[in-house]
Every structure is written in structure tokens, then in C-alpha cells.
Homo-oligomer: A and B are copies of this chain.
Amino acid sequence: MISVVILGAGNVATHLFKAFNKADSVSVIQWYNRNLESIKQFKHHVDITDDLSHLKHADVYIIAVSDDAIKALSRLLPFENKLVVHTSGSVNINDLDKKHKRGVLYPLQTFSKHADLDFSNVPICIETLDKKSYPLLKQLSKSISNITKKVNSDQRRVLHLAAVYVNNFTNQLYRIGHEITESKGAEFDLLKPLIMETAKKVQDISPYRAQTGPAKRHDKKTINKHLKLLENEHHKDVYKLLTKSIQLTHGRKKL
């Protein structure tokens, strides 16, 4: 049985707590947050505290607080030589105070506190500074996810950066789709099955192979029609740049 203390009470901490709670081989023995308000609803399921000096002995301490607060919080922990990990895609592993055995448990997914999510499909990227701590973190991760992967700091940073493209930027393209349809009295809802299918396609084939459409076909006529139809200058800029992007990938012609 691996004993765990969770620190922080945001999106990630909450999902981790729920996932570990379902795992047979892990026991969350304590949950810390700087204010008790957000975790007091769990007080019948776990010991909760807002006092670092009351932290219990555990095998692993998971710091799931805002990126900017990780460093300071790791310093304030009143013990040493225990495995302490953060959950961030971009924070340096060395930001953790060096009195600890240090590691990262980065769940590569987008979490919202109140949206349910099946953790077993969340890839967990793990890293430890000392080799000896690795098996413990691996075992811990495997208790909640089917996809665990050793990832070094460079790779983690790059995954986090790529995640901005496939999550934040993609979502913004959905938003532009929303703006374009609504502005002409068409229904964004009609695009939802296409959005799902677009994501589904690249689960099996590469984005390169999945590409279709006027940009890939270098179909100038349709591209010009589209640019004419767009009234918003910013939407036009996005159209032009991403058309160019597709054409850089598929052939040499430019807009």
C-alpha cells in the first residue's frame, strides 16, 4: 500500500484524489490546502488540514498547486528526504527544494474540477531525479492510469507546448467557427459531429494522412471564395496563415 499526501485543492488535486480513492493499492492519508473551505466536503473520507506542521508521514507528497506556488510550498514542507513531486508540465523539477527526493507526475490532460473524467485514459508522464524513486512513482501512476510514460524534462516541456496547440489553439479554432456561424445565423451545433470526427481520425492515422480540403488541394478558387466571404480581418489572418501552414506541409505552393 502506497501512502500519499495531496497538497492543493484545485482541478488536478481533486481529480487525483478521486482517482487514488478508487485504487486498491494506494491510500490518500491526508489532504492539505491553504484554506480548508474547498476540501471540507471530503473530511469524512480523508484527514484534511491547512497546517503544514501537521503533515503526516507518507511515501509520496503530491504538490498540485499553481505553478508559481510550487517552489515556495516545497520549501515550507517540514521534513526532508521524502519523495515530493509536482504535477506541472512546465515547472522545472529543480524548483522543488533539494532537501527532498524530487519527481514529477504530469497528467497530460485538461482538467476541470466539476467535469468527470476517466483517469485510466490520462497519460501520466513521470520523472524522478534519483533512479531509486522511479519505481515507486511508476507504481503509483499505474494504479490510476493505463498510460504511464518516463519522460525527461525536455520532453515534458515540449509535450506541454504541443498541448497548447492541440488544446488551447484548437479550441480557439472552434471558437472562430462559432463566431463565423453565429454571425450569419447558421448553427454552430451542426459542426459538432465534424469536430468529434476530426479528433477521432487522428487516433488511428497521422494528421498528415488525415488532411483534406481546399488548402491541401491547392484549390485557389475555393480559397479565394472563402477569403471573400470572411468579413472579420482577424479571421482572414488565421485563414491565410493556416492555409499556408497546410501548404508548407503538403507541397510547395504558397497562397
Contacts and interface: CB of A to CB of B under 8 A. Distances in A.
B201 A199 contact: no
Contacts of A171: 198, 201-202, 207, 210-211
A178 B166 CA distance: 10
A199 B196 CA distance: 6
Contacts of A136: none
B210 A164 contact: no
16 contacts: A109-B194, A110-B201, A117-B197, A165-B180, A166-B174, A166-B195, A167-B212, A168-B211, A169-B173, A171-B202, A171-B207, A175-B207, A175-B249, A178-B207, A195-B199, A199-B200
Interface of A: 67, 90, 108-110, 115, 117, 121-123, 125, 147, 149, 151, 154-159, 161-178, 180-181, 183-188, 190-203, 206-208, 210-216, 222, 225-226, 229-230, 234, 237-239, 241-242, 245-246, 248-249
